């Protein structure tokens, strides 16, 4: 017993029912929590709720604690929060780490046969928590002593009974999942049923959720990384090379699993230097290619990124940012690679940086990335982060058939291009590409400065006056493309909330959802007038388009998950503009709506 007020009363919690419910599910690594977490999300999704999920690993807090946050609602929402309605604790570490996130009157379901290190009685009593104790391990053993993970299905049974929801949909999910493994299915079904039974025999408290309002049975539960993978295949990805790293690895494993089906050559490279080099080779030979990594691996790619820019070789590089520098906090998010993405590699070279803000946008931005890469023959970096890569959301099925623009490809003599010149100087800086085995287009891709025919200017031509001129022309050519991209491809930030507001919050990338919720909450409070400018096209920054947005701002605050204010500095360098205030969350946790609200309260002038 961890509390004295273990619930047995016959009441229903929260009488009008929850229209948004957040729960967290925590235990030890290896207990299959992540997996069952995904099934649960699919379950709520099938019932017609909008769902978000987020996995957590806190390997620094005693051996491998993992958790899964699941939040569902009758309405779409921007971001999951850190405040919990329900905590399901498989072990006592879960209590240590998450109990304080439970709201007052919240509920705790806990595995009563776990060892307890601390005394939570006071905490539980003072916050009037409802406690449900289930001997999960013992119950699991009764079904099959050799399969302790059955505790998961048992807990799901308890949960569904407690929430008074339809068990049938979960049975259907299990049947679909284990259609070819009858024995496992049977055991899980028994566990599910036993969970329900145990709960109803021992407890009568119910926790009612409002009925789901929208028919959402077709919705998908999908993560940012998987969306990037789908976006890439939809865009015609033919080659992926990657070296494993959190939080980019799931792109590699997802596509490795579907390589044959989706027609993508998927190779696990020996390191990131190799991964990007392989992509350069594949792109040279005519394939759309991509690599993905995070900070440490991205740093290793720096030389080859410059090569891609110099040789005008299209390639898409996903940087799923994690907390740096160095090893940093590998399983936590940060938005601190914007500057390094802009300046990565020696010399001066063009590249494009796009930062998706939510799971759906991971798809859209990836398809844009491939077209921009090939249209302008530049490397494109997708700046995602841990909080987006591994976050799952309900997404409405969408069109997978996207526009594919491969740019200028030379396949033989035309009026405009009689002879193939790989780096033909042109008004907009773009020249034709040709792939082997196209005849009469044989050329040598070279990272040294080169002339229109891709002949190297180093070696015997270096230092000759003619070389100097070509060098200048080629430099201008590469940067003409960057200006064209700025003008034609890059979008200004998106406004959320009233066009004119007293207070504006600026943000970029994955924090969009949390800030949106903050804006809604502030605007629903009397008299407040807030809006948000969320940036997603970051480099080349379309500063002329941004100016008019900044002109309308009264008071402003920027939220960036970094120390130095990287977007702020970028805006300042282009537009000589700075926000009035700033929030830099640095704990490693992604900023949730309640975190941001608490931080905002410190700026008394706003309230």
Partner 1 sequence: MGTESQRYDKKLFKANLKPNWCPGCGDYGLLSASTKALSKLKFQPSNVVFISGIGCSSSFPHWTNAYGIHMVHGRALPTATGVKMVNPELTVIAVGGDGDGYGIGIGHFIHSARRNLDITYMVMNNQIYGLTMGQSSPSSQLGLVTLTAPQGVDELPINPLALSLGAGASFVARGFSGDRKHLQVIIEKALNHNGFSFIDVLSPCITFNKLNTYEWFRKRVYKLDENHDQTDIEAAFAKSQEGNGRIPIGIFYKSERPSLHDLDPVTKNKIPVKEPLGFKAQGIDVQEVFDDFR
**Which span (70-78, 109-117, 154-162, 435-443) binds partner 1, by CB under 8 A?**
435-443
- Contact between 457 and partner 1 (CB under 8 A)? no
Tokens 């160095």 -> residue? 326
The strand order across the sheet containing 237-242 reads 265-268, 237-242, 288-293, 315-321, 379-385, 352-354, 537-539
Long-range contacts of residues 61-65, Cβ cutoff 8 Å, at least 24 apart: 61/93, 61/96, 61/97, 62/93, 63/28, 63/29, 64/28, 64/29, 64/30, 65/26, 65/27, 65/28, 65/29, 65/91, 65/93, 65/94, 65/97
Q: How far is the CB of 77 from partner 1 (least distance, A)?
A: 19
Cα 209–213–215 angle (5° rounding)? 120
Q: How far is the CB of 220 from partner 1 (least distance, A)?
A: 4
- Contact between 290 and partner 1 (CB under 8 A)? no
- Contact between 287 and partner 1 (CB under 8 A)? yes
| For partner 1, the closer CB: 290 or 514 | 290
Residue 566 in contact with residue 336, Cβ under 8 Å?
yes
Residue 317 in contact with residue 292, Cβ under 8 Å?
yes
**Phi, psi angle pair for 185, to nearest 5°:** -60, -50
3-state secondary structure of 478: helix
Q: How far is the CB of 363 from partner 1 (least distance, A)?
A: 12
| For partner 1, the closer CB: 184 or 265 | 265
| For partner 1, the closer CB: 92 or 394 | 394
Sequence-ordered list of residues with C-beta below 8 angstroms from that of 416, at least 6 positions apart, any chain: none
Count of residues engaged in binding partner 1, rule: CB under 8 A:
72
| For partner 1, the closer CB: 109 or 237 | 237
**Ramachandran area for residue 328 (φ above 0: left; ψ -120 to 50: alpha; else beta):** left
Q: How far is the CB of 226 from partner 1 (least distance, A)?
A: 7
- Contact between 444 and partner 1 (CB under 8 A)? yes
| For partner 1, the closer CB: 108 or 457 | 457
Where are any strands of DSSP class E within 42-150? 50-58, 65-73, 84-89, 102-111, 130-134
Q: How far is the CB of 306 from partner 1 (least distance, A)?
A: 8
Pick from 22, 58, 235, 592 the residue near partner 1 by CB under 8 A. 235
Q: How far is the CB of 141 from partner 1 (least distance, A)?
A: 32
**Phi, psi angle pair for 5, to nearest 5°:** -105, 40
Distance CA(507)–CA(482), nearest Å, equals 24
Q: How far is the CB of 99 from partner 1 (least distance, A)?
A: 32
Distance CA(136)–CA(142), nearest Å, equals 10
Q: Which of residues 38-67 bind partner 1 (CB under 8 A)?
A: 42, 45-46
Distance CA(200)–CA(134), nearest Å, equals 12
| For partner 1, the closer CB: 77 or 243 | 243
Q: How far is the CB of 18 from partner 1 (least distance, A)?
A: 24
Residues in the chain: 607
What is the DSSP secondary-structure string of 374-426? HHHT-EEEEEEEHHHHS-EEEE-------------B--S--SS-SS--TT---
Residue 504 in contact with residue 555, Cβ under 8 Å?
yes
Cα 18–21–27 angle (5° rounding)? 145
- Contact between 427 and partner 1 (CB under 8 A)? no
Q: How far is the CB of 445 from partner 1 (least distance, A)?
A: 4
| For partner 1, the closer CB: 159 or 220 | 220
- Contact between 402 and partner 1 (CB under 8 A)? yes
**Residue 336 exposed, middle or buried by CB count within 10 Å (0-12, 13-18, 19+):** buried
What is the DSSP secondary-structure string of 139-197? HHHHH-TT-TTHHHHHHHHHHHHHTT--HHHHHHHHHHHTTT-HHHHHHHHHHHHHHHH
**Which span (439-447, 478-486, 523-531, 584-592) binds partner 1, by CB under 8 A?**
439-447
| For partner 1, the closer CB: 154 or 251 | 251
**Which span (105-113, 120-128, 136-144, 445-453) binds partner 1, by CB under 8 A?**
445-453
Pick from 103, 455, 582, 584 the residue near partner 1 by CB under 8 A. 455
**Which span (9-17, 429-437, 487-495, 588-596) binds partner 1, by CB under 8 A?**
429-437
| For partner 1, the closer CB: 129 or 278 | 278
Give the DSSP H or E segment for 289: strand 288-293
Distance CA(349)–CA(366), nearest Å, equals 21
- Contact between 375 and partner 1 (CB under 8 A)? no
Distance CA(261)–CA(280), nearest Å, equals 24
3-state secondary structure of 250: helix
**Which span (452-460, 467-475, 536-544, 598-606) binds partner 1, by CB under 8 A?**
452-460
| For partner 1, the closer CB: 86 or 274 | 274
The C-alpha R_g of the chain, in whole angstroms, comes to 27
- Contact between 210 and partner 1 (CB under 8 A)? no
Q: How far is the CB of 275 from partner 1 (least distance, A)?
A: 8
- Contact between 400 and partner 1 (CB under 8 A)? yes
**Phi, psi angle pair for 101, to nearest 5°:** -85, -15
Q: Which of residues 512-571 bind partner 1 (CB under 8 A)?
A: none
| For partner 1, the closer CB: 243 or 386 | 243
- Contact between 238 and partner 1 (CB under 8 A)? yes
Pick from 61, 138, 259, 409 the residue near partner 1 by CB under 8 A. 259
Q: Which of residues 296-355 bind partner 1 (CB under 8 A)?
A: 303-304, 307
Q: How far is the CB of 471 from partner 1 (least distance, A)?
A: 17
For the beta carbon of residue 244, count every other beta carbon within 10 angstroms. Answer: 13
| For partner 1, the closer CB: 119 or 442 | 442
Name the β-bridge partners of 87.
24, 108
Pick from 129, 233, 353, 561 the residue near partner 1 by CB under 8 A. 233
Q: Which of residues 264-283 bind partner 1 (CB under 8 A)?
A: 264-267, 269-271, 273-275, 277-283
Q: Which of residues 212-231 bind partner 1 (CB under 8 A)?
A: 218-222, 226, 230
**Which span (326-334, 442-450, 469-477, 521-529) binds partner 1, by CB under 8 A?**
442-450
Q: How far is the CB of 242 from partner 1 (least distance, A)?
A: 12
Q: How far is the CB of 167 from partner 1 (least distance, A)?
A: 18
Pick from 4, 401, 427, 551 the residue near partner 1 by CB under 8 A. 401
């Amino acid at each position: 017993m961890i509390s004295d007020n273990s619930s047995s009363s016959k009441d229903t919690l929260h009488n009008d029912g929850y229209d948004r419910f957040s729960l967290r599910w925590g235990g030890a690594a290896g207990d299959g929590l992540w997996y069952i977490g995904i099934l649960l999300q699919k379950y709520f999704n099938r019932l017609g709720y909008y769902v978000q999920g987020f996995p957590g690993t806190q390997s620094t807090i005693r051996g491998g604690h993992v958790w899964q946050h699941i939040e569902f609602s009758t309405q779409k929402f921007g971001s999951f929060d850190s405040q919990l309605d329900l905590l399901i604790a498989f072990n006592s570490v879960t209590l240590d780490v998450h109990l304080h996130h439970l709201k007052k009157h919240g509920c705790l379901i806990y595995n009563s046969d776990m060892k307890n290190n601390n005394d939570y009685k006071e905490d539980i009593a003072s916050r009037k928590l409802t406690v449900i104790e289930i001997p999960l391990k013992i119950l699991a053993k009764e079904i099959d002593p050799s399969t302790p993970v059955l505790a998961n299905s048992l807990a799901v049974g308890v949960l569904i009974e407690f929430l008074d929801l339809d068990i049938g949909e979960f049975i259907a999910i299990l049947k679909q999942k284990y259609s070819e493994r009858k024995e496992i299915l049977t055991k899980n079904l028994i566990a599910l049923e036993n969970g329900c039974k145990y709960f109803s025999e021992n407890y009568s408290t119910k926790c009612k959720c409002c009925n789901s309002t929208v028919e959402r049975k077709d919705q998908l539960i999908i993560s940012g990384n998987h969306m990037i993978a789908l976006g890439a295949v939809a865009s015609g990805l033919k080659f992926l090379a990657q070296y494993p790293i959190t939080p980019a690895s799931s792109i590699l494993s997802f596509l490795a699993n579907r390589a044959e089906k989706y027609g993508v050559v998927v190779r696990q490279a020996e390191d990131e230097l190799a991964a990007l080099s392989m992509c350069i080779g594949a792109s040279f030979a005519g394939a759309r290619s991509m690599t993905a990594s995070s900070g440490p691996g991205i740093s290793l790619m720096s030389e080859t990124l410059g090569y891609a820019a110099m040789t005008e070789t299209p390639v898409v590089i996903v940087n799923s940012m994690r907390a740096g520098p160095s090893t940093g906090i590998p399983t936590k998010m940060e938005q601190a690679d914007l500057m390094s993405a802009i300046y990565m590699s020696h010399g001066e070279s063009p590249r494009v940086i796009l930062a998706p803000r939510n799971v759906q946008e991971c798809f859209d931005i990836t398809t844009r990335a491939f077209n921009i890469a090939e249209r302008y023959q530049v490397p494109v970096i997708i700046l995602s982060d841990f909080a987006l890569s591994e976050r799952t959301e309900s997404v409405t099925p969408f069109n997978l058939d996207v526009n594919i623009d491969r740019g200028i490809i030379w396949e033989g003599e035309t009026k405009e291009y009689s002879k193939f010149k790989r780096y033909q100087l042109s008004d907009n800086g773009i020249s034709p590409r040709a792939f082997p085995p196209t005849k009469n287009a044989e050329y040598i891709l070279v990272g040294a400065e080169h002339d229109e025919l891709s002949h190297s200017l180093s070696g015997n031509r270096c230092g000759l006056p003619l070389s100097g001129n070509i060098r200048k022309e080629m430099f201008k050519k590469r940067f003409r493309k960057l200006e064209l991209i700025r003008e034609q491809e890059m979008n200004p930030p998106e406004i959320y909330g009233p066009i004119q507001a007293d207070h504006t919050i600026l943000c970029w990338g994955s924090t969009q959802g949390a800030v949106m919720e903050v804006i809604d909450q502030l605007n629903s409070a009397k008299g407040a007038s807030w809006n948000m400018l969320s940036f997603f096209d970051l480099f080349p920054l379309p500063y002329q388009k941004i100016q008019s947005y900044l002109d309308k701002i009264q008071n402003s605050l920027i939220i960036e998950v970094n120390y130095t204010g990287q977007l702020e500095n970028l805006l300042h360098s282009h537009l000589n503009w700075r926000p009035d205030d700033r929030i830099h969350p640095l704990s490693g946790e992604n900023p949730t709506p309640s975190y941001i609200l608490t931080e905002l309260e410190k700026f008394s002038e706003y309230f």
